[in-house]
Amino acid sequence: MRLISPSNLRRAGMAALGALWLAAPAIAQEPIKEGDVLTGTLRLVRTRHFNGTRIEAYQIVSAPRAMPADDDFCTPGKGATTFHLLTMTDAAKKKQLNLLLGKTVAVKADALFCSQTAWHIGDVVVPQWTLMPKR
């Protein structure tokens, strides 16, 4: 009779645990809604619209977040990972965000919707937001 070595037994156990973890049902994520807090890395995206107009968009890049099923512009089951913070007419907000580029930030999304046009850079547009204080 051949004995299984402890290292092979450990590998088999880890493989079994991994298989169970992958087979476990996914925990349903509550869809994001107005008033929720988004946390992620802040970046500035510079691109051009199809008509040639330059676009600068501040984005939060986060772990995937579920979107409400009633938004016709969202793809059901696909989590949103990029959130476009609108700052078009607010120089103070732009200045505030410029100081935080590349850092982890949290914002309260006072309003949000799935991207609808080529002017929207990312999965979700956040037209009204409030920067949350660092904890």
User: In percent, how much of the chain has pLDDT > 70?
Assistant: 77
C-alpha–C-alpha distance, residues 72 and 34, integer Å: 17
Give 10's pLDDT tier (boundaries 50, 70, 90). Answer: low
Mean pLDDT of 7-33: 53
Beta-carbon contacts of 36 under 8 Å, excluding residues fewer than 6 positions away, are 108, 109
C-alpha–C-alpha distance, residues 54 and 72, integer Å: 27
C-alpha–C-alpha distance, residues 112 and 126, integer Å: 4
- Looking at residue 83, what is its pLDDT? 92
**Spans of all domains in the chain:** 37-131
- Taking only the tens place, the pLDDT of each residue in 118-132 is 788 888 999 999 999
Give 28's pLDDT tier (boundaries 50, 70, 90). Answer: very low
Whether the full predicted model's pTM is greater than 0.85, yes or no, is no
DSSP assignment of 71-102 equals -TTS-TTPPEEEEEE--TT-HHHHHHHHTTTT
